[in-house]
Amino acid sequence: MEEKIQGKNILEIKDLHTYFFMDDTVVKSVDGVDIELKKGATLGIVGESGSGKSVTALSVMGLLMGTRGKVVEGNILLDGKDIVHISEEEKRKLRGNQISMIFQEPMTSLNPVMTIGHQIMEGLLEHENISKEEAYNKALEALRLTGVPRVEKMMKEYPFQLSGGQRQRVMIAMALVCKPKILIADEPTTALDVTIQAQILDLMNNLKKEIGTSTLFITHDLGVVAEVCDDVVVMYCGRVVEKGDVNSIFYETAHPYTKGLLASIPHLGEKSQTLTTIPGNVPNPKYMPAGCKFSPRCSYATEQCKNEEPPFFDMGNGHLSKCWLCAKKGGQA
Partner 1 sequence: MLKYTCKRILGMIPTLLIVVTFVFFFVRMIPGDPARLVAGEQATLEDVENVRVSLGLDKPIPVQYAKYVTGLMKGDLGMSLRTKRPVTKEISTRYVNTMKLTFISLFWSAVVGVALGVWSGIHRGKWQDYLGMAMAVSGISMPSFWVGFLLIMAFSVKLGWLPTTGASSWKAFILPAITLGVHIAAVVARFTRSSIIETMQEDYVRTARAKGLTERVVIWKHAFRNSLLSVVTVVGLQFGFLLGGAVVVEAVFAFPGLGSLLIESVNYRDYPAIQSLILIFSLQFVVINLLVDMLYAYLNPEIKLQ
Partner 2 sequence: MTEEKKKQDQTQKPLEANPQAAITDAEKADIRTPLSEAIRKFKKQKNSVIALCFILFLVLVAVVGYYLVPFGINQYDYNAILQGPSGKHLFGTDEFGRDLFSRIVCGTRISLAVGLSAVTVGAICGTILGLLSGYYGGIIDSIIMRICDTLFAFPGIILAIAIVAVLGSGLYNVVIAVAVFSTPTFARLVRSRTLALKEAVFVQAAKSMGASDMRILFKHILPGAIPEIIVQYTMSVGTSILTASSLSFLGMGAQPPTPEWGLLLSNGRNYLLESAHITLFPGLAIFFTVLSFNIFGDGLRDALDPKLTD
Residue 297 touches which of partner 1, partner 2, none (Cβ within 5-8 Å per kind): partner 2
- Residues with Cβ within 8 Å of 129's Cβ and at least 6 positions away in sequence, in order, are none
Regarding beta strands 9-21 and 69-78, do their DSSP bridges make them parallel or antiparallel, or are they unpaired? antiparallel
The verdict on 285 binding partner 1 (CB under 8 A) reads no
**297 backbone dihedrals φ, ψ, rounded to 5°:** -105, 0
| Site residue total, partner 1 (CB under 8 A) | 31
Residue closer to partner 1, measured from CB, 27 or 94: 94
Q: How far is the CB of 28 from partner 2 (least distance, A)?
A: 16
Residue closer to partner 2, measured from CB, 75 or 302: 302
Q: How far is the CB of 321 from partner 1 (least distance, A)?
A: 33
| Positions 96 through 115 that interact with partner 1 (CB under 8 A) | 96-97, 100-101, 103, 105, 108-114
Residue closer to partner 1, measured from CB, 62 or 256: 62
| Positions 214 through 273 that interact with partner 1 (CB under 8 A) | none
Residues at the contact surface with partner 2, assessed by CB under 8 A: 22-23, 279-281, 283-284, 286-287, 289, 296-299, 301-303, 306
The verdict on 52 binding partner 1 (CB under 8 A) reads no
Sheet holding 231-236, edge to edge: 99-102, 182-186, 214-219, 42-46, 231-236, 239-245, 320-321, 313-314
Q: CA–CA separation, 8 vs 179, rounded Å?
A: 19
| Positions 142 through 171 that interact with partner 1 (CB under 8 A) | 158, 160-161, 171
Query: Per-residue b/e over 131-170, b at no fewer than 16 CB within 10 Å?
Result: eeeebbebbbebbebbebeebeebbeeebeebeebbbbbb
Q: Work out which of 126, 134, 227, 245 binds partner 1, going by CB under 8 A.
A: 126
Q: Are 184 and 218 in contact (CB under 8 A)?
A: yes
Q: CA angle, 1 as apex, 316 and 295 as ends, to 5°?
A: 70
Q: Are 6 and 41 in contact (CB under 8 A)?
A: no
Name the site residues for partner 1 (rule: CB under 8 A): 61, 63, 65-66, 92-97, 100-101, 103, 105, 108-114, 122-123, 126-127, 158, 160-161, 171, 174-175
